[in-house]
Structures are given as structure tokens and as C-alpha cells.
């Protein structure tokens, strides 16, 4: 899949919370304890055929990224 994002991070799906319309997919970045969560429609989840244990690539692309000093 071609994309314009400048990152492509290998991860493994560790949890899926499925609602009636939306789903939350949690993936752990390979070789780390870091996790990333993605929210998508249930239709997209089904189309991708994602299950816990599947290998995925995390691609983050954002228009705005906020930095906040603690």
C-alpha cells in the first residue's frame, strides 16, 4: 500500500474492543512495551480481517501534533 506518511512501524494487535459501529484496536510496537490505539469503523475492521495476534504496520499521519510542557 502506497502512502505519504514518513513512518511505517511494525506492530502486533494485542486487543480489539468491538462496538456496534466503531472498534478500538490496540497494537504493541514490535520489540518494545509501547502500544498504539486506533479507532475505526466495524466495517473497516471486518474488511481488514484483523484479529488479536495479527502483525500490522502502524502508520501515523496527522495534520496537527500538539506538544504540551508538563
pLDDT at 1: 66
pLDDT at 2: 74
**DSSP per-residue string spanning 51-70:** -TT-EEEE----S-------
Mean pLDDT of 45-64: 90
The conformational region for residue 16 under phi > 0 = left, psi -120 to 50 = alpha, else beta, is beta
pLDDT, one tens digit per residue, over 21-42 is 999 999 999 999 999 999 999 9
Cβ–Cβ < 8 Å for 56, 1: no
Max CA pair span of the chain: 40
pLDDT at 20: 98
Predicted structure pTM score: 0.82
Amino acid at each position: 500500500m502506497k502512502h505519504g506518511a514518513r513512518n511505517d512501524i511494525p506492530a502486533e494487535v494485542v486487543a480489539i474492543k468491538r462496538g456496534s459501529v466503531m472498534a478500538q484496536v490496540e497494537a504493541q510496537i514490535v520489540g518494545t512495551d509501547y502500544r498504539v490505539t486506533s479507532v475505526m469503523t466495524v466495517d473497516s475492521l471486518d474488511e481488514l480481517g484483523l484479529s488479536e495476534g495479527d502483525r500490522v504496520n502502524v502508520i501515523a499521519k496527522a495534520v496537527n501534533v500538539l506538544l504540551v510542557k508538563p
